[in-house]
Structures are given as C-alpha cells and as structure tokens.
C-alpha cells in the first residue's frame, strides 16, 4: 500500500550487534527462557535433536542465534553457568540459503568447515582436504577436479553406493574435530520449513542416517505446522506429516510468548495514547500477530492514524469524530484488511460489526472512547458513579457504537445526513476521512 518507504519500525536483522543488544536489554522478555534452553543443551550427553517450534515471524532465528552467542561465550548478561564447564563447538546453518545445493550433507559439512575455519591436518592426523574430497567422491562420484561443481551441479546427487563408508567418514570427521576443538558439537539448523520439499526431506533423512555421532546435538528452529505441509507436498496429501516428523526430533519446545510491554519499549511503540495503544494490544491478542506482523501493523498505524490519534485534542464535533475514527475504527480496519480480507469486506459493507466487539472491553470503552461518544449525563452500565445518580442514563458499551457503525457503513447515502453522538458529529466528510487515512497518504501519516 505504501510502496518502497522506509518506515520507523523495521524488523531487526540478526547481526551480531543486534543479537547482543537484544540479550543485554532482554528486549522481548525471553532471557529466562534462553537461559533454560542453554541449560537444556548443557544437559545432553548423547546424539540428540531438539525442535524449537514457533510460527513464522516469532523470533526463532534471533532465539537460536542468541543461544549460539551464549554457547560461544560472547555475552555474559544471561546465566550460562551450566554450559561454562563444557567445551562446545556451535555452528549455525541457514537451510533456506542452501537449498539449491543438491546434497544436504555436502552443504552442511562445507558450512561447518567454513564457519570453524578448519583446514590442513588436525592433531589427530586427519587430513581435512583429503577427507572432503573423498566425501564428495562418495556422495557424487565426481573426481577431485570437480569438487566445486559437485556442490551445486544439477547431476550431483546419485544413489549412494556405500552408505556405511559415508557414515564412517562423517564419524571420523566429528570424532577428530571434537578431540582437537571441543567436547560436543551444537549445530543450529534454521529455516528448514521454507526449503523446497525435496531438499527439506533429504536433509532430515540424511541427518538421521549419517550424523549419529554421540557428541552432536542438533537444534532445528522450525514452524512444525508448515514443515508437516512440506512433508505432505513430498509424500502426498494423505501422508501423516506430524507422525513422520516425530521420528526426527527427540524433544520439542514451544517458543514462549514475548513480553509485549518490553517489546513496545524496545521498539519505541509505547508512545501511543492510552486508547490507541489499548486498541492495538487488543488487536494483537485477537489476531495472534507475530512480532514481525506487529511491527508491520505499527508501521501501518504510523502511515494512517498516528498523528491524529496521538496529538489530536478535543475540539469541534466534526474534529472529535475524526479523532474517534482514527483511534477506534481505522486500527480495526487495518487489521482486517491485512489479516482477514473476507471479514474486512463484510465489515465495510455494513454486514459484520463483530470485529468492533473489542469495545465491550472496559479498558477500551473506559478511556477516551466514552468521553467522545457519551454525553455528560451518560455512563456505561457497570460504571462506578460518585454522587447523585438521579439524572444518570446508563448505556450498554456497544449501543452508541452500533449507531456510528450503521451510519458510516450501512447507510447508502449520507450526503444530506449527519449523526450527532456524544461530543461527535459524523457526516460525509467523516467517511471520506476514513478512506483518506486508510490510503496511507493523508497529512496524518508519519513514515520515519
């Protein structure tokens, strides 16, 4: 909708500085879970595979890279006592970046070699160059002079002639590297759920068959729901994807929910006034928005209702109506347009008011919402009134809003009509103002 505009709330790239900063600040409230996760890794003394499960956009990459940083001893702000006594090699492998490589074993081994910067001969006598070349030959049948093309060539992978030889070669590699460098390998596999089905399945099966050394722990950061669809795409719709995946993971952990207050402070999203902020929080809970989608939503708010909602003071009835739609109507429409297009169409056609039932929540209607659309002698049912109640009229929370909704979205013609509700006057210009805000190009927009 907004084109190529640099907006304020950019998704952080998982650079080393950003990863360290998010640990130092505990930016989303996961440091305690991070510490426990490192403790779990430290408790493992055999070949083991862990799945860190969460939907896309929930920060899995950051979480595992934070864990890697702790294992590597590059950050001291989280308890890592359980792992300090160990001696670990950690490797991060982005499967999605490598799914054009034909053989997953070659791809992963070369990533380990490059990340650990190992070459020449180990103290154990293992000649790494000869090891890699012989592994390539076993997997591909290519000769020494064709190593590079073996990694990416279209005809690389053939039926393996000697599975035992491959397993023995890999066992020798991990045995000798751990003797020289560390006690255990921790290998983080990320983004496997985004890979081509053929690569993802072969990767899992080769890990299961060939990487069985007792000193290896695999950590897969995955969206298991999506990965099961990958399995079905490969084996057929009737295939039980979850049962198949259960063979590969010894333990599955669910990434904890973020601390929304810390998240907002870290990204400076806590600057909104009480009513817009409360509406945003309610929308996050209702639509279960991931961190990535929350940042995208905040950018939409900045490009639509930000200035009016944050800075608009009470004034004329028409101005009050504009404040009301900026704070309460546009945020809901933005969420619907982005995350439930069918319901959005029904809503703006005047056929479905249910998305606005958040206004039944007292934390919403008890703020500026009530001050805008209630008169001085009107109060919501359940309100605590101090003093004389003789002249008080009690209103159900949705009663007044229903009038506003039906006027704005149901009436076929509002050219010569106005609706006075509380301190607001809704008219044709109000509807036009909603359309202008939703365009992301109004004078209320903030992009940086």
Domain ranges in the chain?
16-254, 271-439
The model's pLDDT over 407-437, given as tens digits with 9 standing for 90+, comes to: 999 866 655 588 998 889 999 899 898 988 8
pLDDT at residue 121 is higher than 90: no
pLDDT for residue 192: 94
The model's pLDDT over 54-112, given as tens digits with 9 standing for 90+, comes to: 998 899 999 999 999 999 887 766 655 555 555 888 999 999 998 876 678 888 888 88
Share of the chain above pLDDT 90, in %: 30
pLDDT for residue 146: 45
Q: Binning pLDDT at 50, 70 and 90, where does residue 220 land?
A: very high
Residue 247, both tokens: 């063979």
Q: Binning pLDDT at 50, 70 and 90, where does residue 150 land?
A: very low
Residues 240/208, Cβ–Cβ less than 8 Å:
no
pLDDT for residue 175: 86
Return the half-sphere exposure (C-beta side, CA atoms, 13 A cut-off) of residue 118. 25
Q: Binning pLDDT at 50, 70 and 90, where does residue 151 land?
A: very low
**Cβ neighbours, 10 Å, residue 350:** 15
Output the CA–CA distances (angstroms, integers) from residue 283 to 1, 205, 332, 377, in the order listed.
20, 41, 7, 30
pLDDT for residue 99: 83
> Strand, coil or helix: what is 179?
helix
DSSP 355-370: GGGGGGSHHHIIIIIH
> Strand, coil or helix: what is 11?
coil
pLDDT for residue 117: 78
Bridge-partner residues for 121, per DSSP? 127
Among 83-97, 213-227, 340-354, the range scoring the smallest mean pLDDT is 83-97
Q: Which of 26, 178, 14 is nearest to 92 (CA)?
A: 14
pLDDT for residue 64: 96
pLDDT at residue 143 is higher than 50: no
Q: What topology is assigned to 16-254 in CATH?
A: Rossmann fold (3.40.50)
More confident residue, 153 or 99: 99
Residue the block writes with tokens 């006027």: 407
DSSP 94-141: ETGGGTTSS-HHHHHHHHHHHHHT--SB-TTS-BHHHHHHHHHHHHH-
Q: Binning pLDDT at 50, 70 and 90, where does residue 147 land?
A: very low
Residues 138/169, Cβ–Cβ less than 8 Å:
yes
Residues 29/259, Cβ–Cβ less than 8 Å:
yes
Cα(248)–Cα(177) distance, integer angstroms = 24
The model's pLDDT over 9-47, given as tens digits with 9 standing for 90+, comes to: 456 788 888 899 889 889 889 999 999 999 999 999 999
Cα(360)–Cα(432) distance, integer angstroms = 26
Cα(404)–Cα(373) distance, integer angstroms = 9
In angstroms, how far apart are the furthest CA atoms of the chain? 96
pLDDT for residue 281: 78
**Cβ neighbours, 10 Å, residue 320:** 22
Q: Binning pLDDT at 50, 70 and 90, where does residue 145 land?
A: very low
CB within 8 Å of 411: residues ≥ 6 apart? 417
The model's pLDDT over 156-197, given as tens digits with 9 standing for 90+, comes to: 334 334 567 777 888 888 888 888 888 899 999 999 999 999
Burial category of 95 from C-beta neighbours within 10 Å (exposed 0-12, middle 13-18, buried 19 and up): buried
Q: Which of 217, 183, 214 is nearest to 85 (CA)?
A: 183
pLDDT for residue 270: 62
Residues 423/323, Cβ–Cβ less than 8 Å:
no
Residues 260/284, Cβ–Cβ less than 8 Å:
yes
**What is residue 385's DSSP assignment?**
-
> Strand, coil or helix: what is 303?
coil
CB within 8 Å of 390: residues ≥ 6 apart? none
**pTM for the full model?**
0.74
Share of the chain above pLDDT 70, in %: 74
Among 74-83, 211-220, 314-323, the range scoring the smallest mean pLDDT is 74-83
Bridge-partner residues for 222, per DSSP? 53
Residues 280/297, Cβ–Cβ less than 8 Å:
yes
């Amino acid at each position: 909708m907004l084109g190529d505009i640099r907006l304020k709330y950019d998704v952080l790239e998982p650079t080393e500085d950003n990863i360290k900063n998010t640990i130092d600040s505990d930016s989303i409230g996961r440091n305690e879970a991070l510490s426990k996760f490192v403790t779990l890794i430290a408790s493992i003394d055999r070949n083991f595979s862990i799945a860190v499960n969460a939907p896309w956009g929930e920060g899995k990459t950051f979480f595992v890279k934070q864990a890697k940083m702790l294992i590597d001893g590059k950050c001291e702000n989280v308890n890592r006592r359980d792992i300090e006594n160990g001696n670990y090699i950690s490797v991060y492998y982005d499967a999605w970046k490598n799914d054009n490589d034909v053989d997953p074993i070659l791809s992963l081994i070369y990533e380990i070699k490059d990340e650990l910067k190992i070459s020449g001969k180990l103290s154990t006598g293992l000649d790494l160059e000869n090891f890699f070349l012989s592994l390539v030959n076993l997997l591909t049948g290519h000769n020494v002079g064709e190593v590079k093309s073996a990694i990416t060539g279209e005809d690389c992978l053939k039926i393996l002639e000697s599975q035992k030889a491959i397993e023995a070669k890999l066992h020798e590699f991990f045995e000798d590297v751990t003797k020289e460098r560390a006690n255990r390998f921790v290998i983080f596999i990320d983004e496997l759920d985004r890979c081509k089905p053929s690569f993802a399945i072969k990767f899992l099966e080769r890990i299961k068959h060939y990487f069985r050394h007792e000193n290896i722990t695999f950590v897969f950061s995955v969206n298991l729901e999506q990965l099961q669809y990958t399995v079905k795409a490969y084996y057929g719709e009737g295939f039980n994807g979850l049962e198949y995946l259960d063979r590969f993971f010894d333990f599955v952990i669910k990434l904890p929910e973020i601390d929304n207050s810390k998240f907002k402070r870290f990204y400076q999203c806590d600057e909104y006034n009480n009513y817009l902020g409360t509406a945003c929080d309610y929308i996050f809970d209702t639509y279960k928005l991931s961190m990535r989608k929350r940042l995208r939503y905040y950018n939409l708010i900045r490009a639509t209702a930000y200035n009016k909602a944050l800075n608009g003071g009470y004034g004329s009835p028409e101005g009050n109506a504009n404040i009301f739609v900026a704070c309460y109507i546009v945020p809901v429409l933005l969420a619907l347009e982005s995350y439930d297009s069918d319901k959005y169409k029904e809503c703006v056609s005047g056929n479905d008011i249910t998305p606005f039932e958040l206004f039944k929540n007292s934390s919403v209607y008890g703020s500026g919402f009530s001050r805008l659309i209630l008169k001085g002698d009107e109060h919501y049912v359940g309100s605590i009134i101090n003093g004389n109640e003789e002249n008080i009229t009690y209103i159900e929370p949705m009663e007044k809003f229903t009038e506003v909704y039906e006027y704005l979205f149901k009436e076929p013609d509002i050219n010569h009509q106005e609706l006075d509700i509380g301190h607001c006057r809704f008219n044709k210009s109000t509807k036009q103002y909603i359309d202008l805000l939703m365009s992301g190009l109004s004078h209320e927009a903030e992009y940086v």
